[in-house]
Structure 1
């Protein structure tokens, strides 16, 4: 068994592995990140690492795991170091990231998380907690005040449990200490993520102290953002292969593609890195970038996840290698693209070409099952919104509807080969209960459309749309995903 990656083993790495050029002991903590999973380590942490390499030592990170200790147990024995492995069909590049200086586990010590948020050197808080971590109704964007964690935090913030709760507790402690607020940057795929997070935080703050809520509203900043990088889950085989290549074991490694995009609304309430120098786009209008990414990249990913998962196609690159798979993605893009208002500098045709090349990157091994998680939180912005936009103009929605029907078929928890699987979704109980007793595809469609947290009333009131969904779901149930794709009009 090789030694673990650590500060002590950095010197023995192969020359081609890029190592931190800065003194790890002289890094200040300028960022707290909530939800330190693989995406953060491959995306925002890589940008803050670039800031450190540029000679600005203010942007070290304290990562916070909101659930389990697994990431802490991977990273702390490695002195916070991990390998960022960029893979493409042309080869791979390994870079050791040193920006994450500590990892906390919120349930083990919520007071330590609040203390980190209160550090005078902290100017930015970033979040990758997935859509469900915000406790927002995906259809309305309002705080779900009935969620157990929100109920607890609305009553008492001495040991916060939710993301809004931690943020309010940290901001309250800063205000009491005479410190300014931090800029809070949501990095999750939620439309208008900055304003939505702001509303959630203010709702919790208002319940405890209206003066605190007013201070946050006036002095704080919640810029809207768009993030883009494909980050598949790391496997044991990935860890073993990297250990063979670099001579040390890295339990915290992440693999990703060369592409990285981060668009941030230019709205901050304190210091920030020279983001533009590291490829980050600062803009006054994020929404057009966000919409294009959600409806093209993420919308296609959802369709691929459910159709591919039902058909037993394990990876995204395998799906788009199928003629019928590629044709479906192009058809979905043809539909969704007409609902966009592209910002200056974004050519949709070029963007689509680049997306297809990214999907076809076989070295990523991006699993359809990974993308299929939490679909109820993702459908409204990725598929439902463009369907409604096109229906309002009387335009066809065949490909988009097929993607939604595939999600509906997924809720049964069995693939086209009859193999059962677990529907990994916060509303899995609701979808199962809705479908219980439904006798055919049309009844299942009607039952699922009744879930207001996913589908607005206008969706279910469109008789022609409901009938189209029923036919698509029936085709998937009777013939399977691949047969349905082959018969689908291009």
Structure 2
């Protein structure tokens, strides 16, 4: 969130369509006339990741003359992004950092910003507009409102509200369903829904959840969504650390004007998308997007190797006193652990899909070592109860089924429990958050034996629910938790034959 000092900056000194014309030549700026583009995409969840990833790809398409794909951004909760970008005509700086180098690029693909709680009618109007042919989402895993079993949490207060008030929705499900109702009534073809969050089979998962939601409204709507709306799955990958006031100050010096909310990122960027867009799409493949028939192998590799190791680095890094990914990854014990974690997870990936896991993990190691990003372990640690099932638990279950080695994956789950317990003690209170925080805090404060703690956490989070391997997983995680409780990561690493710096 921009600082108060940034928000007080006068408009005349802010980045805007007018001041952009005088930026230094080293700063890349949109080469197209933003007044001539037409909105064709509505994006739900305009956070830093979207602005570093999909918005940059769309910016490339607009520059190539595909003028029908400008983005209307929608914040489902906070007005922060709109308030930062509106005085800047929707423009912002993308800072691509590696080592001692930083390249600045101004992105112009977001043509309008809406805040759903302020004006849900305007959001519905944008979604129902015939020009809108694609709706993309980066709303984070928790915003899909899944119950512990994976289905829609029909009892969630926001879901209950949306079913009772379809004209004034709060959730992505409510907005998508009502917009599709309006489009159908007007004879407008449905838009394609492109999920860009880290969910397993994200398109199919959202398709199922939205059909469940629609079924609670109207059986005909549910059938329309199930049969006639396209939900291609996708895999996204780019590291995007939180922007700091120091970043804003540095970029303001480079630009000569203030940017209230620039975005920091790395050079690497990947997007793999299933090619199913009945209403058309930008020619993303011209700018590095991989269009495929089936995204699952790429998704599994990313979730289990990148996201899984990111979670490991976050929780073990926090417990070891490391504030950023590069510092944690430079810790020889954590580095050795991550290598072993990859070796454990790689056999769970699909064979014959053309995945080069050796090259992929080598590239990950280079990315994790990027000292310029200062990607905070606390940022990655958020929402563990929502992330670990697809990042870690899925791999662990596959290992148990195959009878392969399984000791490193389970330490990640134990480290998450230990890191949650450490908040307000060795870690600051509220250092990272989770949707289950209230219940987790109450449970962990009981200081139950490790086995009982892990079993209760599995029940609460729905980990490995209905899997025959569940009890074995609980026992393996509990062994690690005993070690972490006694002497932190030092003893946990030692039990795996890894020597810690702290020994």
Provide TM-score, normalisation by structure 2: 0.93
Distance 1:342 1:39, change over 3 A: farther
Distance (Å, rounded) in 1 between the aligned partners of 2:353 and 2:403: 27
Larger displacement relative to structure 2 (271-280 or 287-296): 271-280
- Aligned residues of 1:80 and 1:101 also touching (Cα < 8 A): yes
Correspondence 1:372 to 2:376: no
Q: Does residue 435 in structure 1 map to residue 460 in structure 2?
A: no
Matched, 1:381 2:390: yes
- 3-state SS of 1:126 partner: strand
1:165 paired to 2:177:
no
1:72 & 1:273 partners in 2: Cα distance? Answer: 25
CA contact (8 A) 1:219 1:269 kept: no
Q: 1:417 to 1:432 in 2, by over 3 A?
A: closer
Match of 1:302 among 301, 305, 311: 311
**Cα offsets for 1:149-171 (capped at 9, x unmatched):** 11111223010111111001111
Partner residue of 1:149? 158
SS in 1 for 2:117: helix
- Measured after TM superposition, the shift of residue 466 of structure 1 is 3.1
Residue in structure 2 matching 1:477, options 474, 485, 500: 485
Residues in 2 aligned to 1:373 and 1:48: alpha-carbon distance in whole angstroms: 28
**Map 1:297-336 → 2, pairs under 5 A:** 297-336=306-345
User: Contact 2:163–2:217 (CA<8 Å) still a contact in 1?
Assistant: yes
User: Displacement, 1:423?
Assistant: 4.7
Say which SS state the counterpart of residue 57 (structure 1) adopts: coil
Q: 1:218, CA displacement in angstroms? A: 2.7
1:124 aligns with 2:134: yes
The 3-state SS of whatever aligns with 1:185 is strand
Instruction: State the match for 1:243 in structure 2.
Output: 252
Deviations 1:335-393 (A, max 9, x none): 00110015644311000000110111111110000000000000111111111111112
Instruction: Report the counterpart of residue 20 of structure 2 in structure 1.
Output: 10
- Give the Cα–Cα distance (whole angstroms) in 1 for the partners of residues 82 and 89 of structure 2: 10
Distance 1:384 1:344, change over 3 A: closer
Correspondences of 1:373-412 after superposition (within 5 Å): 373-412=382-421
In 2 relative to 1, CA 461–261 (structure 1 residues): closer, same or farther, beyond 3 Å? closer
Query: Do residues 105 (structure 1) and 105 (structure 2) align?
Result: no
1:257 matched residue in structure 2: 266
Per mean C-alpha deviation after superposition, the further-off stretch among 28-37 and 307-316 is 307-316
Aligned counterparts of 1:482 and 1:68: Cα–Cα separation in 2: 41
Q: CA deviation at 1:483?
A: 4.9
Q: Return the alpha-carbon distance in structure 2 between the equivalents of residues 250 and 416 of structure 1.
A: 37
Matched residues, number:
488
Which residue of structure 2 aligns with residue 115 of structure 1?
A: 125
- The secondary structure found in structure 2 opposite 1:226 is strand
CA gap of 1:437–1:460, structure 2 versus 1, over 3 A, is farther
1:294 deviation in Å? 0.3
Deviation readout 1:458-479 (Å, 9 max, x if unpaired): 377534x433322211111121
Deviates more, 1:233-242 or 1:444-453: 444-453
- The 10-residue stretch of structure 1 (23-32 or 213-222) with the greater mean CA deviation from structure 2: 213-222
Question: Corresponding residue for 1:209?
Answer: 218
| Structure 1 residue runs without a partner (length 5+) | none
Q: Over aligned residue pairs, what C-alpha RMSD do you find?
A: 1.8
**Rounded Cα–Cα distance in structure 2 between residues aligned with 1:435 and 1:292:** 32
